[in-house]
Amino acid sequence: MSPNLATTQFRRNAAAPTTVGKANTLSGVQRCTVTEINTGEVKTIDVTVVTEHWYDF
């Protein structure tokens, strides 16, 4: 959501589960690239993000 800041948040778009007590588990890989402003050195890391969305009404 704010890829150029020191911290960021992830947002997922998915439908809610249709059965009470069930969860949708979603995962994805986000790539984080950091560039050192003085030297231009670049470091990259892949982060796996896993979320669950419960239907508990």
pLDDT, residue 46, reads 92
For residue 55, the enclosing domain spans: 1-57
pLDDT per position as a tens digit, 1-55: 666 677 777 666 666 666 666 777 878 888 888 888 899 999 999 988 887 777 6
Q: Which pair of tokens denotes residue 5?
A: 């800041």
DSSP readout, 16-46?
A: PPSSTT-EEEEEEEEEEEEE-TTT--EEEEE
Structural domain tally of the chain? 1
Does the structure show a pLDDT above 60 at 57?
no
